[in-house]
Amino acid sequence: MKLTDVQTQAVEYIGSPTLVVAGAGSGKTRTLTSKIAYLIEKGYTPERILAITFTNKAADEMKSRLLLLTGFTANRFPWVRTYHSACFQLLKRHCTRIGYQNPIQVFASYQQEKVIKDIVVNKLQFDKKFVPSVLNQISNAKNSANPEGYFTAIPTVGAIRLGEVYQLYEQALKNQNAVDFDNILLLARNLLRDFPDIREKYQTYFQYILCDEYQDTNDLNEEITRLLVNNGNLFVVGDDWQSIYSFRMSNVRHFLSFEKTYPNAKIFHLEQNFRSANHIVTIANQLISNNRHKMDKNCFSTIDGGTIQLKEFYSDKDEASWVTRQVNKFILDGIPPGKIAILFRTRFCSLAFEQCLRSMNIRYRMQGGQSFFERREILDLHGYLSASVFPKDDISFERILNIPRRGIGQKMIEKLYTNRNTGESLQEATRRAVHQKMLSPKITQEIHGVLQLLDQIRTLQPNIAIETVINAVNFMDHVKTYAKNDEMDFISRQENIDQLIYAASEKNSIEEYMEDAVLIREDKADDEEKQKQKGVILSTIHAAKGLEYTVVFVVACEENLFPHWKTLDTEESLEEERRLMYVSMTRSERHLFLTSAQIRKGQYDQYRSRFLDEIETAIKATQPKTKTKKKARA
């Protein structure tokens, strides 16, 4: 598709930092990739262009478009990456400056949780119920770019001193030569901030920096970007109207204050929506106009039509029944199930809809469910790969010692931990115990087999390594033990393993594969045709951002649910909830329904959302006024 005039202006402008304020469906990715292609035409080197975004899916899409636009191969764009992936490249190259060694390991979520649990429960003697909250606060502290300051403001969870846990946690990571997901950014920032030679090296190397979804940057993202920019060659794209991730520490103020940060900045507005029909765009504009803190723009669409309908129901069961009947009608009219979405603010709201969809035999999929890499069979196989190349990874080694069961219980593992010398990992201590014959003959034989297998796979291609483990330990028999005697569950897990082997076959080494796997924090979507047929989409609005559907039902629109009761304390929080409603509305291409119920979860007198009142007012304002005829005089 040809660029619009304003897209062309943004693409061809070079001379100062540039902010592209891109409304929903306005072609921001096309503009961003066209900008990179234009820079290459003007003599910039593709290998020296840094283009960063937040999700692997977005980075992959950006790279795919660049290959089509330029005709280059993928290896010409080594720095089209997510923030975490780009920063990890920097961290790997310079980690010895801050006391790490290569290869450096990135802990997965379950490994982080295990370390924190050990500190909170075993070392500090607190209940394990505090572990999720402590993990969340430590993550927030790192993403604030100032952990010490964060812990000054929020010093405790219950009676647990967060600063103390943080220090113990960071030392535990360092002892295992590992970082967690948030450390990648924090340590990369430290390298750029504290080592002028490293900072100047990358400022000189990157000829241009481009950033997608800039409204979602947190303080750490923004600081890293500033530390890398040289000569004002910065191009950022985003939409403050779609800033909905403050719970992940994103800070929309970076977007709104771009001109203050970069006083000579140039601003472009992309206002044409190519996705949604005009009526939907117009009403969404009216809704967001109720926010005070925003960049003004006048979004429009040249697509005629679009329907918006507000419906109120007595109960959530009535609501779900009606929505399901409408879904069935659209499917019978030929709209693919995967182009129909039921969106909600809070996940518990899905239950009534799942029950109704099942009762009518309508297939559905829950968007943003369990990550592929968090499934049990994948974690087990990854444990073998990780223990083979990261000998200090105590968590992975402990996991695989008894997978499949070998009679190595928790007491034996505790004995191995106790046997460690200072600075020795669990695997190193175990190898010494086997060599010195400190264990029973049966246990020695079992552990010796595990160690031999780890040594055998260490230098293999990652897919061959996985297949070797599966065969050596009869892994599929092990999977059957937790597939609940359910044939379909077993087949599903088997398909997951097949997919894992395929993904691993695309990498040259276990280290490279494990790095790629742990940096993926969302599942890659199926191709579009498969997606359409797999079923109606049920999703939280947060998980649906960036996606589009022909028909959208935004359900459970009641006060204290949407807007959520936790967000009613401040104007800033309420405005983010309104942005969330805006995002939900602009997922729809043609048909939009917003519903509420008086009874939900058995609780009566639920009041419909204030946002529905605002939307209804906007709809009435767009309707033509009819003139009443005066009665003729007798």
Active site residues: 28-29, 212-213, 242, 587
Q: Specify whether the CB–CB gap between 225 and 209 falls below 8 A.
A: yes
With CA atoms as reference, report the closest residue to 397 among 410, 415, 385: 385
Q: Specify whether the CB–CB gap between 277 and 303 falls below 8 A.
A: yes
With CA atoms as reference, report the closest residue to 289 among 489, 582, 535: 582
Q: Apex CA 404: angle with CA 132 and CA 128, to 5°? A: 15
How far is it, in rounded angstroms, from Cα 351 to Cα 64?
Answer: 37
Residue 330 forms beta bridges with which residues? none
**Pairing between β-strand 156-157 and β-strand 160-161 as defined by DSSP bridges:** antiparallel
The DSSP code sequence of 117-137 is: HIIIIIIS---GGGHHHHHHH
Q: Apex CA 565: angle with CA 216 and CA 347, to 5°? A: 70
Task: Report how far apart, in Å, the C-alpha atoms of 504 and of each of 56, 415, 462 are.
Answer: 16, 35, 5
How far is it, in rounded angstroms, from Cα 173 to Cα 448?
Answer: 27
Residue 270 forms beta bridges with which residues? 22
With CA atoms as reference, report the closest residue to 219 among 274, 182, 267: 182
Distant-in-sequence, close-in-space partners of 545: CB < 8 Å, separation ≥ 6: 242, 244, 583
Q: How far apart are the first and last CA of the chain?
A: 64
As given in the structure block, the two tokens for residue 590 are 């043609």
